[in-house]
Structures are given as C-alpha cells and as structure tokens.
Amino acid sequence: MKKDLSADKPALRLVSWNVNGLRAVLDRGFLDAFRRLDADIFALQEIKAFPEQLPEAARSIPGYQAWWHPAKKKGYSGVAVFSRKEPLNVIYGLGREDFDSEGRVLTLELADFYFVAAYFPNAQDGLKRLTFKLDFNRAMLAHLNHLAAEKSVLLCGDLNVAHKEIDLANPKANVQNPGFSPEERAGLEEILQAGYADTFRLFHPEPNRYSWWSYRTAARQRNVGWRIDYFLVDAKSQSRVRAAEIHDDIHGSDHCPVSVEFA
C-alpha cells in the first residue's frame, strides 16, 4: 500500500474571510483577529480598497507578504492574500476582463499545491447578474481543472451561494432569492461533481453552522444565517485536509472567517 506522505507533514493553517470593507474592519479588531487566527496563508474578499488607501499596519503585517487584486471600481469587491510562505508564482484573475476588472481571483502557486482565493459574484436582486455568475462559475471550474492537472488545489472564498437546505436558516423562504436559486445551487453542484469536495462538510454534518448573517433584524444574534464561505479541495487531495472550521465567534464583518488545516 502506498503511504500517505501528508500524514507525516505538519499542517498549514489556511484562512479565508470576507471582510466587507477592509478599512471598516480595521476599526473593529481586524488585526487582533488576524493574529489570533495565526494563519500561514490568509485570504480576504471584498477588501473594497486599493492598497494605497490602507494604513501601513494593514499593508505590511509582520511575517507576511501581501498580494492585492482590487477592483477597478472604487469601493467595490477586491481580494487580497497574505502569506508567510513565498509562492513560486502569483496569478491575477481568470484571464477575462469582465471578471478581472472586478478583482475577484488571486491564485498562489506553492511547492505542492495551488491556493485560489476568490470572491464569486452575487446574483443580485431579481437574479439580474445570474448569467454573469454562472459564466464565472464555468471559468473558475476550467481554472481549477487546469491547476489540478499539475498538483493539489484549494479554492477558498465567498462563493455567494448556500449549497443545500442545511446551509441556511430559512431555505423555503429563499428558493428564488440570490444565493439560493436553483441555478446557483446547480452551479456549485457542478463544481463539486467535477471532483471538488466541500471541506467543512467532510468534518461537520451538523446544522445551524453559518458564515454570513444579514445586518438587519439582529440576524447574527439569532443565528439566522447562511453558509456561503467555503474551502473546496480536489478529490485526490482530500486526505491532506486535517480539519475545517467556521470561526463564528469572530466579529467585525457580516461574514466570519473559515479555515482548514492542510498538510
């Protein structure tokens, strides 16, 4: 029997957090949470800022290098990745201007895996951006498959969709709403069926675990939320995932961080 070499390796802690405005969350304990989570690689979504708009304390966190892919539009979207590990290569976007101008994807190539940080489009009220989102899903799947042909792949970020009824508090009331429409759920299912696993569900079958809560109606206090933030891993690399968590005790954004331990 071939030995699983990852069993002997120390695990990396990988974290993803939609901060819904990095400048705003800096005033709500972001740096304390960042240090507490102690990630080897930390991905952010919805930074809503250009690096030059941020204080030095956010741009240069001791022990980390940072890569930024802001949207061209001010105050909108954007992703960033902080890493203790020096990547072999950094890929900005998916190679399509309509996606890349919105600052949605950063890919870091490490020695034995790819780390893909992404902020998937919101289908928006009336599902008016549904076609755009489904196009993005297909482009992302092609990107993942291309990378997975070479080495392990982890995709993390705000996918802006709850996969199953267990992944939101009020599924029946949201069937036609953005984030839980049949088309969006099918789009995520297509990625999973193509050979990518939802790491949280590998370890946590229980209900009532969410990563996003509306700011309205005291939703977070009542835990009326959605699980829309994920780490996905290619099927052949599932054994490298040692743990997956939702850090719902960390506040500051309408999302909370999610993490995996990856050997």
Q: Catalytic residue positions?
A: 158
Instruction: Output the six-digit token pair for 220.
Output: 């977070």
CA-atom Rg of the chain in angstroms: 17
**For residues 212-225, b (16+ Cβ closer than 10 Å) or e, as one string?**
bbeeeeebbeeebb
Max Cα–Cα distance, the chain, nearest Å: 55
- Rounded to whole angstroms, the Cα distance separating 95 from 138 reads 13
| Residue among 204, 187, 189, 190 nearest 241 (CA) | 204
* Opening angle at CA 179, ends 162 and 188, nearest 5: 55
The number of beta carbons lying within 10 Å of the beta carbon of residue 96 is: 13
Under a CB-based contact definition with an 8 Å cutoff, are residues 54 and 61 in contact? no
Q: How far is CA 155 from CA 43, 62, 138, 164, 252, in A?
A: 10, 25, 14, 19, 23
Dihedral (Cα; 60, 61, 65, 69), 10-degree rounding: -70
d(CA 178, CA 123): 5
Provide the token pair at 101: 């101008």
